[in-house]
């Protein structure tokens, strides 16, 4: 069996003294969309932050990305290995215009083949091109989400970490985000998607994990997960 793109094992994570993730084991394979679900406060966001060493999370355990142990690396080194981050709340830069967001993020683009450039993200999100000179803080919720995705894409990651991308968005925009996720995985990018909106995420998932109180309590393939959910509903 080929090695996973991301392999997490025995991961514990802390905010100060509070022990949030406990002995988490999780894997993401190349080109796969892995869904992480769970109610608020179950440690989903902490999982993504732990992968990126995003302060103030402290972590212990093993996180191997593309064969490289990253648990002792700083955020920028982990990100530079090929991780893109679409954070909850988007964390855009209010001082920067849309174009500036993309231009400076693209300057950290990895690899020789730069599939995602300013032009290709503008093709994907034409709205952003129309608003290219507008400040990051003055976009609508949907535009902000598109910019957050585009900002991660222009760094040409191999794995995209997405945290609640449907939060606060209209049904139409959620559909756009879903289409984009499908498009990305079909082009070979892996996605680790944290989502509470199961209706959005269910059909996309190749595999799914359920988090409860900082632990993985369920792990199944996408089909099994969808079938289980139908059974629970019935």
Partner 1 sequence: MFLVKMCILNGFTLAALLFIVASGLTLSFSLMRVVNLSHGAFYLAGGFVGLSVLNASGSWLLAIGVAGIAIAVLALVEERFFLRWARGNDLIETLVSLSIAIIIGDLVLVIWGGYPKTIKIPEMLSGAVEIPILVVYYPVYRLFMLAMALVLGGGLWLFLKKTNLGITIRAGVDNFNMVAALGFNVKRIFTMVFALSGFLAGAAGVVGGTLMMLVVGEDWRILTLTLIVIIIGGLGSLIGTAVGALITGLAYSFATAYIPEFSLFILFLPVAVILSIRPQGLFGKEAA
Q: How far is the CB of 47 from partner 1 (least distance, A)?
A: 15
Candidates 6, 36, 47, 105; binder of partner 1 (CB under 8 A) is: 105
Residue among 148 and 177 whose Cβ is closer to partner 1: 148
Residues 193, 77: Cα–Cα separation, whole Å: 22
Candidates 17, 40, 94, 171; binder of partner 1 (CB under 8 A) is: 94
Residue among 5 and 154 whose Cβ is closer to partner 1: 154
Say whether residue 74 binds partner 1 (CB under 8 A): yes
Residues 232, 181: Cα–Cα separation, whole Å: 26
Residues 234, 224: Cα–Cα separation, whole Å: 15
What is the number of H-type helices and E-type strands within the chain? Answer: 9, 10
Angle among Cα 62, 63, 67 to the nearest 5 degrees reads 110
Say whether residue 43 binds partner 1 (CB under 8 A): no
Say whether residue 79 binds partner 1 (CB under 8 A): yes
Residues ≥6 apart with Cβ < 8 Å to 76? none
CA atoms within 13 A on the CB side of 72: 2
Q: How far is the CB of 150 from partner 1 (least distance, A)?
A: 12
Binding-site ranges for partner 1 (CB under 8 A): 52, 54-55, 74-76, 79-80, 85, 87, 91, 93-96, 100-101, 103-105, 107-108, 110, 151-152, 155
């Amino acid at each position: 069996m080929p090695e996973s793109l991301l392999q997490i094992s025995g991961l514990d994570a802390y905010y100060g003294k509070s022990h949030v993730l406990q002995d988490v084991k999780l894997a993401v394979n190349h080109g796969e969309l892995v869904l992480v679900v769970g109610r608020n406060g179950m440690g989903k966001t902490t999982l993504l932050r732990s992968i990126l060493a995003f302060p103030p999370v402290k972590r212990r355990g093993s996180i191997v990305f593309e064969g490289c142990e990253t648990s002792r690396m700083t955020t920028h080194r982990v990100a530079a290995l090929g991780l893109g981050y679409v954070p909850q709340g988007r964390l855009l830069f209010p001082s920067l215009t849309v174009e500036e967001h993309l231009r400076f993020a693209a300057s950290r683009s990895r690899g020789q083949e730069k599939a995602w450039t300013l032009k290709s993200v503008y093709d994907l999100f034409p709205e952003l091109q129309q608003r290219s000179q507008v400040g990051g803080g003055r976009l609508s919720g949907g535009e902000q989400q598109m910019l957050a995705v585009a900002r991660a894409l222009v760094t040409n990651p191999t794995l995209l970490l997405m945290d609640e991308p449907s939060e606060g968005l209209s049904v139409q925009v959620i559909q756009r985000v879903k289409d984009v996720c499908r498009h990305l995985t079909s082009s070979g990018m892996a996605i680790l998607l944290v989502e509470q909106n199961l209706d959005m995420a269910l059909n996309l998932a190749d595999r799914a994990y359920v988090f409860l109180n900082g632990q993985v309590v369920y792990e199944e393939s996408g089909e099994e997960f969808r079938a289980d959910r139908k059974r629970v509903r019935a």
